Amino acid sequence: MKEVFVRLARCVGCRQCEISCALVHSESRDIHQAVWERPLPRQRVRVTREGSEYYPLRCFHCEDAPCIGACISGAMHLDEDVGTVACDTARCVGCWMCVMVCPYGSVRIHEGQKVALKCDRCPDEDEPACVRGCPTRALLVKERALVV
């Protein structure tokens, strides 16, 4: 199973991953048009600074995900084929139970659409957009078993 890993020492806090993420989730996928879309395309990864280090925080796609157990509508589910925690936004009723229980703060509210917003690990891409967009290769995809 493939997984996105972070090499903290390489992250310089440029937030290119955030831009790539928002762009790949936009309608037009063109940065010049995407900035005019309403609601604005939102990023699912957030770079945060803690002390002297930067942390690109995203959904860890937990094996035992609290957000799935808390979801009252069945929207949040495990996609067994690819091993991701996915949100079927058509079923999301906006109760924010997932926001309440995610220990990583990785599920947010999509203000424009009033549904849960989280990383989907780019199911239609060869490589997640945040990884592709990272200029220092701080983010990278590896087989889970090879690293842990």
Partner 1 sequence: MKHVIIGGSAAGMSCAETLRRLDPKCDITVISDEARPFYSRCLTSYYIAGKIGERDMLLRDPGFYEARRLNLVMGKKAVLVDPRKKAVVLDDGSEIPYDRLLLATGGRPKLPDIPGAGKRGVFTLRTWDDAVAISERAKTARKAVVVGGGLIGMKVAGALRDAGLEVRVVVASGRVLSQMLDDEAAAIARRLLEAHGFAVDTRCDVVEIEGDDEVRQVRLQDGRRVDADLVVIGKGVDPEVGLAEACGARVGRGIIVDEHLKTSVPDIYAAGDAAEAYDIAWGEPRVNAMWTAATSQGQVAAHNMAGIPTRYPGSVGMNSIDICGVPFISMGVVSPRRDRDGDGLVELARRRAGNWYRKVVLKDRVICGAVFAGVVDKAGVVLALIRARARRDDAPERILADDFTYATFMDVIDEKGRYFQEGGKRNVQRIMQGGY
Query: Is there a contact between 71 and 65 (Cβ–Cβ < 8 Å)?
Result: no
Closest CA relative to residue 134, chosen from 26, 8, 50, 30: 8
Stretch that binds partner 1, among 22-30, 64-72, 79-87, 121-129 (CB under 8 A): 64-72
Query: At closest approach, how far in Å is the CB of 144 from partner 1?
Result: 8
13 near partner 1, judged by CB under 8 A = no
Q: Judging by DSSP bridges, how do beta strands 115-117 and 108-110 pair with one another?
A: antiparallel
29 secondary structure, DSSP code: -
Query: At closest approach, how far in Å is the CB of 55 from partner 1?
Result: 4
Stretch that binds partner 1, among 16-24, 31-39, 60-68, 78-86 (CB under 8 A): 60-68
Dihedral of alpha carbons 116, 85, 119, 51, sign: positive
108 near partner 1, judged by CB under 8 A = yes
Helix residue ranges per DSSP H, 42-137: 66-70, 97-101, 129-133
Which residues bind to partner 1, rule: CB under 8 A?
A: 3, 5-9, 46, 48, 50, 53, 55, 57, 60, 62-66, 69-70, 72-74, 91, 93-97, 99-109, 114, 147-148
